[in-house]
Structure 1
């Protein structure tokens, strides 16, 4: 831990929240020992030797004085004297979870371009009566003109009770913070609470690597719910999600009859692929469908950067192509879709020939995004089983779906969020 005296002159850490985790690895806030009743999530080892999380719900551990603690890798056990009332939510996963659990008014800031962030979440929230994500006036902790750089001083100005951001990510080459910088904000302002590397089960910086644990999307959401003491709302939302997944799996055709899928980003005739079959919560809106990655066995082109041109897609023959994060692009996706489908070579790609090039969502998804993105993906991949996908429309909000073709009840979701459920 950092000394109580820091360069900012704050004498002690915030009273309302504090770390109770172990101090290991030369002062790193790892605290990953899994003790019974600690609220930690146990892990298992899969056939490839990778550590993966088990499907358990996290419950906070309460004390007689009303304080409680929540344990999550890599931050360890974090103790709270009261429910945090100001939250820094860097990614849509934590921001969307806070809103879905009724704590949207507590958000102080987000991580990056606010319009893109707003488009990402508004696309879905516009479909829920009485629910809104008020992102316009939020702070932004990335420096203007330098989205890969965090404004450390702003963390002090925002004075948030908890920062839903992984300290391991801050220590990585992405941001390059020192351990002293990480610890000073944790002690002077509020603790870190995040697990970035579960997005793809990727490797964290070496100092965190040995005891880093990975979580599924809803395990991660459950940990945030434990911090906010919103376990009942969490269970209600997770119950809706489990019903959607059960319905999807019950109605899937045999694997041999499922379409092949390519998930891409697109710019100027070049397609960059995503491997949606890899581990991690980034693909939990695609994983339940068990479809083949059309690009897994086809060399890319035109260059050596892993990208594909039309010839590469012609060789791969994907049945469906979706544009990752296309739902946030608005009119620009509509324009680039027209460009893609009107290319002279498009007729030789099954997905383009049949008009099955769609805007897809974002993997850093909170509960609401996950529900809508599961339904959206179901319709894009299996319209004959789950109803036709209406398309991107005006690109401003999720399209209207007939009630009989909805995979979940919008009113039920809104009631859970607003407290009427």
Structure 2
């Protein structure tokens, strides 16, 4: 992987963006070391590191601070960019920067079809599919972006990068800025987590789009408040089993815990449901826990609602005609209360950004409270698509 940059190494991206004072001990991810030379970031950050310095009239540079990288100084607003997952990619699109995305770390989990419902909002799916799994140094050199919306520790722990690899790309191409936020069950992530909107705000600072961010925040807060105003009393809400099983004929189920505060479960927390696994010792799915439950286990748990991830390219009707139908015909699965009541639904994206979250919260409200918000197969809309499109397109 020791490929030289496309240009003279002396003319690095340091001429464009550079790391600021939060990089300590001579290492980008200074803090503690892991196996194979890997490193995770320090959990300590100077109090001022979470502040963003705005450019002065004579100096157009500005800084953005985010764990685990620390403070990054930008000489001008990035134009070419890439995100590891669909959540950060969706943030960029929400901020009106969709034209600058050059690829993604995992295209299979970036669901762009929601943009079809937003007038004038789209991304170049061909460009994304041309670079659908950007995870190697060669790819970072080739794409030559101005910022990488990746948690670099994820590259270290998932794709066998070393700290020196991260530093090389940051020095010779562009900085990393991102934090793995979709779940909170990875032992190596021993530094600050961010909520969806805290991370979104950081990305807005990167692109100088704080006004768009604030408009999204207001829309989101009003939407959630109106949804929550209509929720039934707590004792009338269903308990939920959230799982992953990508086949149409499921036999075992990988468990998720709703008490994990990752962004992938935001809609369920906002809708006030309880975790069917509460009070059990069943652990959340993670890189170190790959345990699965079978139908007999689920009979003991007895969830009111089952939410199955891994079917996001199916419509609600297609899911019911395949996964639900199989479970209804299963000799044990058919005995589950949720199956008998046809309350088995798609479980939502693993990685969601602010636009995704609006659609997923609307869907979840219909799944959980159809008597209040309408059936999940209905066309009823709970938020204003045109308003979302207006913000993305700059009519704030």
TM above 0.5, one fold?
yes
- Structure 1, 273-282 or 95-104: larger mean CA deviation: 273-282
The equivalent residue for 1:401 is 379
Report the equivalent of 1:121: 112
| Alpha-carbon distance in structure 2 between the residues aligned to 1:333 and 1:76 | 46
Residues 219-260 of structure 1: CA distance to partner in whole angstroms, max 9, x if unpaired? Answer: 001100110111111111111111121122222222221101
Whether the aligned pair in 1 keeps the contact of 2:319 and 2:346 (CA below 8 Å) is no
Q: What's the counterpart of residue 225 of structure 2?
A: 246
Instruction: Report the equivalent of 1:314.
Output: 299
> How many Å separate the matches in 2 of 1:269 and 1:23?
48
User: How far apart are the structure 1 equivalents of 2:229 and 2:97?
Assistant: 34
CA distance in 2, matches of 1:290, 1:347: 27
Please state if 1:258 is matched with 2:237.
Answer: yes
How many residue pairs get matched?
367
**Offset from partner CA, 1:182-237 (integer Å, 9 cap, x none):** 101001100000101x33234564xx84xx22211110011001101111111111
SS in 1 for 2:203: helix
In structure 2, the residue matched to 1:419 is: 394
CA distance in 2, matches of 1:274, 1:27: 35
* Alpha-carbon separation, structure 2, partners of 1:305 and 1:7: 38
Residue of structure 1 aligned with 2:78, choices 77, 84, 91: 84
2:133 paired residue number: 142
Please, which moves more after superposition, 320-329 or 159-168? 320-329
TM-score between both structures, scaled by the size of structure 2: 0.85
Q: CA deviation at 1:7?
A: 5.4
Q: CA deviation at 1:142?
A: 3.0
Is 2:265 the counterpart of 1:275? Answer: no
C-alpha displacement at 1:128, in angstroms? 1.3
| Contact 2:55–2:61 (CA under 8 A) maintained in structure 1 | yes
Residue 284 of structure 1 contacts residue 363 of structure 1 at CA under 8 Å; is this kept in 2? no
Change (3 A) 1:142 1:298: same
1:121: how far off? Answer: 2.5
Distance in 2 (alpha carbons) for counterparts of 1:272 and 1:256: 27
CA distance in 2, matches of 1:407, 1:263: 23
- What do the CA deviations read for 1:11-69 (whole angstroms, capped 9, x no partner)? 14312211113333562345863344x444xxxxxxxxxxxxxxxxxx55323411111
Is residue 81–residue 101 contact of structure 2 (8 Å, CA) maintained in 1? yes
RMSD after superposition: 2.5
Structure 1 position 299, deviation (Å): 7.6
Q: Which residue among 92, 102, 111 is the counterpart of 2:96?
A: 102
Structure 1 SS opposite 2:65: strand
List structure 1 segments (4+ residues) > 6 angstroms apart after TM superposition.
Answer: none
- Which has the larger displacement, 339-348 or 280-289? 339-348
1:339 matched residue in structure 2:
326
User: Aligned partners of 1:299 and 1:229: how far apart in 2?
Assistant: 45
Q: Note if contact 1:263-1:273 (Cα within 8 Å) is conserved in structure 2.
A: yes
Partner of residue 11, structure 1: 10
How far apart are the structure 2 equivalents of 1:246 and 1:325?
29
Secondary structure of residue in 2 paired with 1:23: coil
TM-score where L is the length of structure 1: 0.80
Give, in angstroms, the shift of residue 319 of structure 1.
Answer: 1.0
Contact 1:89/1:165 (CA < 8 Å) preserved in 2?
A: yes
After TM superposition, the structure 1 = structure 2 runs for residues 287-326 of structure 1, keeping only pairs within 5 Å, are 287-297=269-279, 306-326=291-311
1:62 corresponds to: 55
Matched, 1:200 2:183: yes
C-alpha contact 1:110 1:141 (8 A) present in aligned 2: yes
Shift of residue 157, structure 1, vs aligned partner: 0.7
In the other structure, the counterpart of 1:71 is 65
Q: How far apart are 1:133 and its partner, in Å? A: 2.4
> SS at the partner of 1:321?
strand
Aligned to 2:34: none
| Structure 2 counterparts to residues 158-173 of structure 1, below 5 A | 158-172=143-157
